Structure 1
Amino acid sequence: MSIDISGSAINSFLSEERLELLNDIDRFRQHGLENLPQIVVCGDTSSGKSSVLEALLGVPFPVDSTICTRFATAIALRYTSLEGVTGEASITPSPKATESHRARVQSFHHRIESLESIPAIMQEAKGLMGVGDDCGISEDVLDLRLHGRNLPNLTLVDLPGLIHASKNTEDIGRVQRLVEQYFKQENSIILTIVSSENPIDSQGILTFSRKFDTTGNRSIGVITKPDLLSRPDKARLLPTILELAENRNSAFKFRRPWHIVRCLNDDERQKGNGRAVLERELLGRQPWDQFPRSQRGIQSLRSRLCEYLQEHIGQVLPELADSLQKKVSSIKSSLEELGPPRATSADRMQYLIRISKRYDQLVNDALDGTYTDPFFNGENSQNRLRAITMGLADDFEDTMRTRGHAYEISEKLFFFQSKQPTQPQWITQVDALNKIGKLVESHRGPELPFLFNPRIVGEFFKEQSANWPLLVSAYTAQVCQVVRVFIRKVVKSVSPSDGKTADLLLRHIFDDAVHKRQEDLDNKVQELITPLRGPFFFSTKRRLQASLKIIEGQDENEPTRALQVQQKTTVTNAVSSEHDNRLKLLQFSRAFYNVALENFIDNVVVLGVESCLLSKVGEMFSPETIAGMDDRMLQLLGGESPDTSAERDDLQAQLTKLKASLKACRRHISQFGLGFAKLSENFQETKLSSGTVIESRKMAIPSSQPTEQWKLFFPPPQTKQSAPSAMRADVFGNPDQLKQITPTKLEEGGPGVSAPFQSSKKLSGSQYLLPEVGGTPSSTGDVQDFSVKVGELNAPKKQS
Structure 2
Amino acid sequence: MASNNALASSYNNNIRPLLDAVDRLRNLKVTEEGIQLPTIVVVGDQSSGKSSVLESLAGISLPRGQGICTRVPLIMRLQGDSNTTKPSMHLEYGGKIVPTSEDEITAAINTATVEIAGAGKGISGKPITLVVKKKSVPDLTLVDLPGITHVPVEGQPSDIYEQISKIIKEYIAPQESIILNVLSATVEFPTCESIRMSRQVDRLGERTLAVVTKSDKAPEGLLEKVTVDDVRIGLGYVCVRNRIGDETYKQARVEEERLFTSHPLLLRIDKSMIGIPVLADRLTQIQVSIIAKCLPDIVKKINEKLNRSMSELNSMPQNLSTIADALKAVIRIIKLVRESLEKLLIRG
Residue in 2 that maps onto 1:17: 10
Does residue 243 in structure 1 map to residue 243 in structure 2? no
* TM-superposed deviation, 1:43: 0.5
- Distance in 2, Cα, partners of 1:308 & 1:149: 21
Does residue 171 in structure 1 map to residue 160 in structure 2? yes
Q: Which amino acid aligns with 2:259?
A: L
User: Is residue 192–residue 222 contact of structure 1 (8 Å, CA) maintained in 2?
Assistant: yes
User: Is residue 39–residue 188 contact of structure 1 (8 Å, CA) maintained in 2?
Assistant: yes
Residue in 2 that maps onto 1:162: 148
Provide Cα deviations, 1:168-223, integer angstroms capped at 9, x if missing partner: 42211111111111111333221101111223343201111111111212110111
User: Is residue 171–residue 177 contact of structure 2 (8 Å, CA) maintained in 1?
Assistant: yes
Q: Secondary structure at the match of 1:169?
A: coil
Count of residues paired in the alignment: 289
Q: Which amino acid aligns with 2:224?
A: E
Provide Cα deviations, 1:589-628, integer angstroms capped at 9, x if missing partner: xxxxxxxxxxxxxxxxxxxxxxxxxxxxxxxxxxxxxxxx
User: Is residue 36–residue 154 contact of structure 1 (8 Å, CA) maintained in 2?
Assistant: no
1:49-88 matched pairs, under 5 angstroms: 49-64=50-65, 68-77=69-78, 88=90
Residue in 2 that maps onto 1:114: 101
Instruction: Flag the 1:26–1:45 CA change in 2: closer, same or farther, 3 A.
Output: closer
- Distance in 2, Cα, partners of 1:142 & 1:24: 22
- Distance in 1, Cα, partners of 2:137 & 2:105: 17
- Distance in 1, Cα, partners of 2:136 & 2:251: 26
Instruction: Flag the 1:228–1:275 CA change in 2: closer, same or farther, 3 A.
Output: same
* TM-superposed deviation, 1:119: 0.8
- Distance in 2, Cα, partners of 1:206 & 1:304: 20
- Distance in 1, Cα, partners of 2:64 & 2:255: 18
Instruction: Flag the 1:110–1:54 CA change in 2: closer, same or farther, 3 A.
Output: same
Residue in 2 that maps onto 1:186: 175
* TM-superposed deviation, 1:271: 8.9
Q: Secondary structure at the match of 2:212?
A: strand
Does residue 130 in structure 1 map to residue 109 in structure 2? no
Q: Secondary structure at the match of 2:12?
A: helix
Q: Secondary structure at the match of 1:223?
A: strand
Instruction: Flag the 1:199–1:28 CA change in 2: closer, same or farther, 3 A.
Output: closer
User: Is residue 190–residue 219 contact of structure 1 (8 Å, CA) maintained in 2?
Assistant: yes
Q: Secondary structure at the match of 1:227?
A: coil
Q: Which runs of 5+ in 2 are unaligned?
A: 1-6, 31-35, 308-313, 319-348
Q: Which amino acid aligns with 2:205?
A: G
Residue in 2 that maps onto 1:256: 235
Instruction: Flag the 1:19–1:110 CA change in 2: closer, same or farther, 3 A.
Output: closer
Does residue 139 in structure 1 map to residue 125 in structure 2? yes
* TM-superposed deviation, 1:301: 0.7
Q: Secondary structure at the match of 1:70?
A: coil
Among 260, 267, 270, the alignment partner of 1:283 is: 260
User: Is residue 40–residue 191 contact of structure 1 (8 Å, CA) maintained in 2?
Assistant: yes
- Distance in 2, Cα, partners of 1:498 & 1:180: 38
Instruction: Flag the 1:15–1:304 CA change in 2: closer, same or farther, 3 A.
Output: farther
- Distance in 2, Cα, partners of 1:310 & 1:77: 14
* TM-superposed deviation, 1:307: 1.1
Instruction: Flag the 1:257–1:286 CA change in 2: closer, same or farther, 3 A.
Output: farther
1:654-673 matched pairs, under 5 angstroms: none
1:55-454 matched pairs, under 5 angstroms: 55-64=56-65, 68-77=69-78, 88-91=90-93, 106=94, 109-128=96-115, 129-132=117-120, 135-145=121-131, 154-167=140-153, 168-229=157-218, 238-239=220-221, 241-246=222-227, 248-250=228-230, 252-265=231-244, 268-269=245-246, 274-284=251-261, 285-319=263-297
User: Is residue 77–residue 151 contact of structure 1 (8 Å, CA) maintained in 2?
Assistant: yes
Q: Secondary structure at the match of 1:282?
A: helix
User: Is residue 22–residue 153 contact of structure 1 (8 Å, CA) maintained in 2?
Assistant: no
Instruction: Flag the 1:498–1:162 CA change in 2: closer, same or farther, 3 A.
Output: closer
* TM-superposed deviation, 1:242: 3.1
Provide Cα deviations, 1:743-774, integer angstroms capped at 9, x if missing partner: xxxxxxxxxxxxxxxxxxxxxxxxxxxxxxxx
* TM-superposed deviation, 1:499: 11
Q: Which amino acid aligns with 2:111?
A: E
- Distance in 2, Cα, partners of 1:71 & 1:47: 17
* TM-superposed deviation, 1:32: 7.2
- Distance in 1, Cα, partners of 2:80 & 2:255: 33
* TM-superposed deviation, 1:122: 1.1
Instruction: Flag the 1:131–1:39 CA change in 2: closer, same or farther, 3 A.
Output: farther
TM, length-normalised to structure 2? 0.69
Residue in 2 that maps onto 1:476: none
Instruction: Flag the 1:212–1:110 CA change in 2: closer, same or farther, 3 A.
Output: same
User: Is residue 88–residue 144 contact of structure 1 (8 Å, CA) maintained in 2?
Assistant: yes
User: Is residue 217–residue 254 contact of structure 1 (8 Å, CA) maintained in 2?
Assistant: yes
Q: Secondary structure at the match of 2:218?
A: helix
- Distance in 2, Cα, partners of 1:322 & 1:244: 42
Q: Which amino acid aligns with 1:253?
A: R
Q: Secondary structure at the match of 1:253?
A: coil
Provide Cα deviations, 1:706-729, integer angstroms capped at 9, x if missing partner: xxxxxxxxxxxxxxxxxxxxxxxx
1:631-650 matched pairs, under 5 angstroms: none
1:569-588 matched pairs, under 5 angstroms: none
Q: Which amino acid aligns with 1:279?
A: E
* TM-superposed deviation, 1:72: 2.2
- Distance in 2, Cα, partners of 1:123 & 1:220: 29
Q: Which amino acid aligns with 2:246?
A: R
* TM-superposed deviation, 1:62: 2.1
User: Is residue 75–residue 143 contact of structure 1 (8 Å, CA) maintained in 2?
Assistant: yes
Higher relative contact order (CA 8 A, sep 6+): 2
Instruction: Flag the 1:149–1:323 CA change in 2: closer, same or farther, 3 A.
Output: farther
Moved more, 70-79 or 43-52: 70-79
More helix by share: 1
Q: Which has the larger radius of gyration?
A: 1
User: Is residue 45–residue 163 contact of structure 1 (8 Å, CA) maintained in 2?
Assistant: yes
Q: Which runs of 5+ in 1 are unaligned?
A: 1-13, 92-105, 231-237, 331-495, 501-800
Q: Secondary structure at the match of 1:74?
A: strand
- Distance in 1, Cα, partners of 2:103 & 2:39: 23
* TM-superposed deviation, 1:244: 2.8
Moved more, 121-130 or 306-315: 121-130
Q: Secondary structure at the match of 2:166?
A: helix
User: Is residue 139–residue 284 contact of structure 2 (8 Å, CA) maintained in 1?
Assistant: no
User: Is residue 57–residue 138 contact of structure 2 (8 Å, CA) maintained in 1?
Assistant: no
Instruction: Flag the 1:29–1:165 CA change in 2: closer, same or farther, 3 A.
Output: closer
Q: Which amino acid aligns with 2:118?
A: G
Q: Secondary structure at the match of 1:301?
A: helix
User: Is residue 226–residue 261 contact of structure 1 (8 Å, CA) maintained in 2?
Assistant: yes
Instruction: Flag the 1:183–1:320 CA change in 2: closer, same or farther, 3 A.
Output: closer
- Distance in 2, Cα, partners of 1:208 & 1:90: 29
User: Is residue 86–residue 148 contact of structure 1 (8 Å, CA) maintained in 2?
Assistant: yes
Instruction: Flag the 1:281–1:67 CA change in 2: closer, same or farther, 3 A.
Output: farther
